[in-house]
Amino acid sequence: MIGTEAISRVIGKDVYDQSGDKIGSASEVYLDDESGQPEWVTVRTGLFGTKESFVPLQGADLSGDGLRVPVSKAQVKDAPRVDTDGHLSPQEEEELYRYYGLGSGTSMTDTTVGRVDTDTTTTTGTAGTAGMAAGTAGTTTGTAGMAAGTSGRTDRDGDGVYDDVQGGAVGRDTSGPTTDDAMTRSEERLSVGTRTEQAGVARLRKYVVSENVTETVPVSREEVRVQREPITDANAGQAYDGPAISEEEHEVTLHAERPVVEKEAVPVERIRLDKETVTDTVQVDETVRKEEIEVDGPGTTDRRV
């Protein structure tokens, strides 16, 4: 089980599914406000790590290689889209637990991001302004602003109007005494960048092979050739030297050339690895959301703006 003391070691680790396939990298750990224990981790996925998905820490295991979670990579890819704004409402957490088939979790309280400050692990409040969340139990201190903090409403732009509507509160785009007569339409914009990562390793390796080499070399040899000379005055002395009839032997040494092979190792060339940068074009497909506004009422001609 992943405890609060392991939060600093979880963040930034590679996350692997139950089959050992890499899902992405851990971004933030969310703690249960009541128990203070880690409940969820957000994992950066996608081509450039721009998408974050919630993954349960129940049954997860942390080792030197990374964080192994008891779900599949496909489950994480298709997980419900929940904003990673530092806060999980009970409804959002219940939806995630139903999706992963883990029941209803350990509690029905809010869940917030767990951050590490030196040797002490604390939870950041989910209040719209600082100091509105009182402790990990999410209790309120009596004022309307403090109650808004623990109910999951946030004032993102500091204008005093809470952006999230829960429990019947008046939000920015809900008619009421604290709003104007305009509605804000928002849409997601796709921002694509690049990052450098290791794609492989190239190496030079030298090994020995044997091959047959055929060379032609001329060789010479001596052969015996019989020469006959008539008896003349010039050789008569040698011819009559010795007995008239006798047995004799005469030897002639013959020579022949044989090929002689010698081998020596000589350097022939120098080989090294070099790198060059090749630029390709990659098409990125991603789904972006946008808001559309419909006009409903008598006397309207353009129903959609």
Same domain? For 112 and 163 the reply is no
66-98 pLDDT, tens digit each: 999 989 999 988 888 888 777 788 888 888 889
Half-sphere exposure of 91 (CA within 13 A, CB side): 5
Highest mean predicted confidence (pLDDT) among 26-35, 270-279, 288-297:
270-279
Contact 55/76 with Cβ under 8 angstroms?
A: yes
Average pLDDT over the chain, rounded to an integer: 76
Percentage of residues in the chain having pLDDT higher than 70? 70
- Confidence grade of residue 174 (pLDDT, cut at 50, 70, 90): low
Tell me: pLDDT of 161 over 60.
Answer: no
105 domain-assigned: yes
Contact 106/39 with Cβ under 8 angstroms?
A: yes
Same domain? For 51 and 97 the reply is yes
65 domain-assigned: yes
Same domain? For 114 and 8 the reply is yes
For range 89-117, the mean pLDDT: 70
Query: For residue 32, what are the β-bridge partners?
Result: 111
For range 41-68, the mean pLDDT: 84
For range 249-262, the mean pLDDT: 93
Q: Using CA atoms in the order 110, 88, 80, 187, what is the torsion angle rounded to 10 degrees?
A: 140
The enclosing domain of 8 has a CATH number of 3.90.50.10
Q: Which domain holds residue 20?
A: 4-124
Task: Count CB atoms within 10 A of the CB of residue 298.
Answer: 4
Tell me, what's the pLDDT at 93?
Answer: 86
Same domain? For 117 and 134 the reply is no
185-224 pLDDT, tens digit each: 899 998 888 888 888 999 999 999 999 999 999 999 999 9
Rounded Cα distance between 67 and 269, Å, is 48
